[in-house]
């Protein structure tokens, strides 16, 4: 991210925090306790790379996902992230040795082929597409669900109004924030989140941090 882009993002995050703080006292206290939004998108990544990375992390803790990706990148020293062609021609045993299950291996190769076929758009084309159009296009791929595409929108395309309604951290964060007996289901959290527009990505970032903020507030 360039210095200009970073400054622009910082301004948007401040505006978003100010806006969310006006919603009610719970939001105001949480944002004051958490501090400035530290969301860090990776706008240089192509959608293809973002999707492969997302598959690598599916159902894994961060350290395990890091290890899987590290082993994959080690297969292509000095070349950065492997190209779709490289993934499609790579030895299956080598990819399995990185930590990819048979299901994940099929998914990443499907993404690679879809990229060559033009189904997975390049970054410039993706930037011009509305959120729902991109979601509808990519969830047709094996192993790619709505949440995966929403993470692409948030982190790779730096969209500022995305609410991943299926995300447990978002729903449970809201439950904790509002001291509810149960986390709201997807449909309800999406309805609630309409009041957070046009800053639902920043609201998501803050909701992910509710457990840590509440734990810190209980320290004597």
Helices (H) and strands (E) in the chain, counts: 14, 0
Encode pLDDT of 52-99 as tens digits: 999 998 888 889 989 999 999 999 998 889 999 999 999 999 999 999
Encode pLDDT of 93-117 as tens digits: 999 999 999 999 999 999 999 999 9
Catalytic residue positions, numbered: 167
Ranges under pLDDT 50 in the chain: 2-4, 220
The whole-number pLDDT of residue 168 equals 93
| Residue 192 backbone dihedrals phi, psi, to 5 degrees | -60, -40
Q: How many CB atoms lie within 10 A of CB 158?
A: 20
The whole-number pLDDT of residue 3 equals 44
The whole-number pLDDT of residue 6 equals 54
Q: Which of left, alpha, beta for 120 (phi over 0: left; psi -120 to 50: alpha)?
A: beta
Give me Rg for the CA atoms of the chain.
19
């Amino acid at each position: 991210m360039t210095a200009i882009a970073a400054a622009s993002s910082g301004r948007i995050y401040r505006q978003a925090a100010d806006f969310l703080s006006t919603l009610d006292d719970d939001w105001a206290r949480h944002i004051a306790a958490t501090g400035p939004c530290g969301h860090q998108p990776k706008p240089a990544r192509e959608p293809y790379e973002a999707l492969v990375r997302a598959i690598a992390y599916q159902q894994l803790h961060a350290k395990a996902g890091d290890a899987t990706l590290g082993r994959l990148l080690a297969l292509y020293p000095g070349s950065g992230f492997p190209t779709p062609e490289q993934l499609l021609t790579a030895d299956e045993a080598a990819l399995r040795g990185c930590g990819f299950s048979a299901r994940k291996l099929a998914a990443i190769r499907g993404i690679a082929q879809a990229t060559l076929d033009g189904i997975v758009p390049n970054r410039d084309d993706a930037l011009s597409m509305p959120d729902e159009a991109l979601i509808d296009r990519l969830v047709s791929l094996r192993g790619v669900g709505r949440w995966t595409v929403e993470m692409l929108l948030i982190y790779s395309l730096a969209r500022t109004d995305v609410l991943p309604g299926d995300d447990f951290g978002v729903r449970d964060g809201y439950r904790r924030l509002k001291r509810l007996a149960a986390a709201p289901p997807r449909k309800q959290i999406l309805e609630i989140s309409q009041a957070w527009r046009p800053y639902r990505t920043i609201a998501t970032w803050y909701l992910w941090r509710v457990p840590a903020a509440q734990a810190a507030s209980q320290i004597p």
